[in-house]
Amino acid sequence: MDAFANQEDENGVIAESSAFVKGELPAEYSVPPKIDSEVEVLHEKVTKQVIKEGHGQKPSKYSTCFIHYRGWSESTQHKFEDTWQEQRPIEMVLGKEKKEMTGLAIGVANMKDGERALLRVGWELGYGEEGSFSFPNVPPRADLVYEVELIGFDETKEGKARSDMTVEERIGAADRRKMDGNVLFQQEKLEEAMQQYEMAIAYMGDDFMFQLFGKYRDMALAVKNPCHLNMAACLIKLNRYEEAIGQCTIVLTEDENNVKALFRRGKSRAALGQTDAAKEDFQKARKYAPEDKAIARELRLLAEHDKVVYQKQKELYKGIFGPRPEPRSSNMRSGNLLILIWQWLLSLFYGLVNLFKRKSPKSD
């Protein structure tokens, strides 16, 4: 059963409650964060400091780990990669990682689900003597700093990576993660639920989806799109509206008329004050679900908001420009005109008198 079913109306649109849960994202650091926690020595060339505690067990050798990370060259403080910014977690099979990720893998192997940590890795376990050709910001013999989050991991004895799985295996693994996420959502464990959804999505990356056609693509989207939508529902509860918009937009790229995606993106845009864009989403959603009460309610709230804004603007302009002057009566205008004519005639008369005096001959 879908974890969101008890919150949906007959048309399947979530009517989120007004109760929100606090949440946070890793900050957009341009340089490594400064951490005060205890330094743990994992290896002669690898240390770890915990930023956020995780839960559960640590992954074992050959576990398939899904991580987000950003990396810097320690000497230059230049950032060379950021998977959070790219919104694409990477997959790492412990014990089968690339040589340049040996130090990173040692750190990940000593982390728990959901843990975020700062790792410092010596150049010997990073990009080595020559540095990185792919990342020019990594010079030769560069010690590295990583901020890493272990989203989750799958225990597989043979260390089977996604690329080695059949289509059915990958979709099945993603669906299991989605169901685990739904259980956590029901328990209000939103951060943990999102980890499961993100892992499910990682099984169906762009490279994988690009190769699918027909029924297999439909099968994959039937798992992938609900994960994005469920992520959006969690993010709305966490007041992380920009990210929720991003998740909904991914779904709308595949299915431009998806009512849930339009509704949740509209909710997020409205919360950010983007009322015109929100109204556009709700109106399109209503086109495909005309009887839906939640959509009608959101449109009504936007209309009431617009009315309040209009009244405030009206009062503001009234205060700036003041009341309009009362129009003068026609009798007053006629009287003023006669006075002006009379003044002009007097000026003309005195002017003629002065001219006559200057031209008259003087007596001896």
pLDDT digits (tens, 9 = 90+) for 213-260: 889 899 999 999 999 999 999 999 999 999 999 999 999 999 999 999
* N-to-C CA span, the chain: 128
Structure tokens belonging to residue 358: 């200057």
User: Can you give the pLDDT at residue 360?
Assistant: 56
Closest CA to 51 of 77, 75, 32, 73: 32
Q: Classify each residue of 230-257 as buried b or exposed e, where b means 16 or more C-beta atoms within 10 Å of its C-beta.
A: bbbbbbbbbebbebbbbbbebbbeeeee
Dist. CA 267–CA 147, nearest whole Å: 32
Do 248 and 229 meet the contact criterion of CB atoms below 8 Å apart?
yes
Closest CA to 76 of 163, 156, 157, 141: 141
Closest CA to 149 of 234, 63, 89: 89
Closest CA to 299 of 310, 312, 311, 284: 284
Question: What are the residue ranges spanned by the domains of the chain?
Answer: 30-157
**In sequence order, what are the residues at sequence separation of 6 or more whose Cβ sits closer than 8 angstroms to the Cβ of residue 229?**
247, 248, 251, 258, 260, 261, 264
User: Can you give the pLDDT at residue 351?
Assistant: 72
Architecture of domain 30-157 in this structure? Roll (3.10)
User: Can you give the pLDDT at residue 202?
Assistant: 85
Dist. CA 251–CA 66, nearest whole Å: 22
User: Can you give the pLDDT at residue 12?
Assistant: 37
Structure tokens belonging to residue 61: 């050798």
Q: Provide the percentage of residues in the chain whose pLDDT is more than 90.
A: 50
Per-block average pLDDT, block size 10, for the chain (364 residues)? 42 35 49 91 95 90 90 92 82 89 95 94 94 89 95 70 82 91 93 89 82 89 94 95 94 94 96 94 95 94 86 71 53 62 74 65 48
User: Can you give the pLDDT at residue 15?
Assistant: 37
Number of Cβ within a 10 Å radius of residue 172: 15
The 3-state secondary structure of the chain, one letter per residue: CCCCHHHECCCCCECCCCCCCCCCCCCCCCCCCCCCCCCEEEECCEEEEEEECCECCCCCCCCEEEEEEEEEECCCCCEEEEHHHHCCCEEEECCCCCHHHHHHHHHHHCCCECCEEEEEECHHHCCCCCCCCCCCCCCCCCCEEEEEEEEEEECCCCCCCHHHCCHHHHHHHHHHHHHHHHHHHHCCCHHHHHHHHHHHHHCCCHHHHHCCCHHHHHHHHHHHHHHHHHHHHHHHHCCCHHHHHHHHHHHHHHCCCCHHHHHHHHHHHHHCCCHHHHHHHHHHHHHHCCCCHHHHHHHHHHHHHHHHHHHHHHHHHHHHHCCCCCCCCHHHHHHHHHHHHHHHHHHHHHHHHHHHHHHCCCCC
**In sequence order, what are the residues at sequence separation of 6 or more whose Cβ sits closer than 8 angstroms to the Cβ of residue 282?**
262, 263, 266, 295, 298, 299, 302
